[in-house]
Amino acid sequence: MLNIVIFGAPGSGKGTQSERIIERYKLMHISTGDVLRDNIRRGTQLGQTAKQYIDKGQLIPDQLMIGILADVLDQNRQAAEHGVIFDGFPRTIPQAEALETMLAERGTAVSAVIGLEVPEQELIERILLRGKQTGRSDDNLETVQSRLQVYHNQTSPLREFYVGKGLYHPINGTGDIDEIFASIANVIDKL
Ligand code: ATP
Ligand code: MG
């Protein structure tokens, strides 16, 4: 089984590259952002809670998020038989530790972490453009600032966490989408 974490700041291209990865490697895509936005659209209790955090650019609390992820994994055992690409999870050290446990309980583990590295100015430009094109409510200048802050404080320490485990593969996330994918495939093919 191939379990890949796609890692990077908001706007680094995790969703875009995940689409290509699932196609080539027949993995199941779990995007926690998509799961939350789907709940917001359907007006569920979880969606109402999540919206309060997302609109402020904050993270959903770890215990809630970890529970959601366990549910998604359990509901998709069949689809996940070749493995999973985790997009947007883990975002904190406790989430990474929980992921380790959850995968171990299911007899598997993280195979690699693909880190999309993009300079901050470009992240902001991409997110503001996406906000204009899609109307995504958290893609505005004010929320972006707090998302980047949260990324630096809570998420970027995961880089060292996974470097320490020998799982981190940095990828230059700027330039042509196909070329970025080629560098990612080059890593995955060697796993
Ligand atoms: P990208 O642009 O690369 O797709 P993103 O950071 O813009 O990434 P999502 O991954 O879609 O966007 O997440 C959107 C929001 O959902 C986050 O800002 C956060 O509030 C919430 N969220 C998503 N995943 C998690 C998580 N693992 N833990 C806590 N909150 C999360
Ligand atoms: Mg995304």
Instruction: Give the pLDDT confidence score for residue 79 in this predicted structure.
Output: 85
Report yes or no: 21 and 188 within 8 Å, Cβ to Cβ.
Answer: yes
Cα three-residue angle 17-32-136, rounded to 5 degrees: 75
Cα–Cα distance measured from residue 71 to residue 168, given in angstroms and rounded to the nearest whole number? 26
Instruction: Give the pLDDT confidence score for residue 37 in this predicted structure.
Output: 97
Cα–Cα distance measured from residue 83 to residue 29, given in angstroms and rounded to the nearest whole number? 9
Q: Which atom of ligand 1 is nearest to the CA of 14?
A: 3
Question: What SS3 class is residue 3?
Answer: strand
**141-161 pLDDT, tens per residue?**
999 999 999 999 999 999 999
Please tell me if the CB atom of residue 15 comes closer than 6 angstroms to any atom of ligand 1.
Answer: yes
Pocket test for ligand 1, best of 5, 35, 36 (most atoms within 8 A of CB): 36
- Going from N- to C-terminal start, the domains of the chain cover 2-189
Structure tokens at 59: 């993270």
What pTM, to 2 d.p., does this model score?
0.95
**153-188 pLDDT, tens per residue?**
999 999 999 999 999 999 999 999 999 999 999 999
Q: Which atom of ligand 1 is nearest to the CA of 13?
A: 3
pLDDT means over runs of 10, the chain (191 residues):
97 98 96 97 98 97 97 90 95 98 95 98 97 96 96 98 98 98 98 96
Ion ligand 2 neighbours (CB, 5 A) are 15, 33
Please tell me if the CB atom of residue 158 comes closer than 6 angstroms to any atom of ligand 1.
Answer: no
Instruction: Give the pLDDT confidence score for residue 80 in this predicted structure.
Output: 85
Cα–Cα distance measured from residue 45 to residue 52, given in angstroms and rounded to the nearest whole number? 12
Considering every ligand atom shown, identify the ligand nearest to the alpha carbon of residue 116 and give its number: 1
52 phi, psi to nearest 5 deg:
-65, -35
117 phi, psi to nearest 5 deg:
-105, 120
| CATH classification (class only), 2-189 | alpha beta
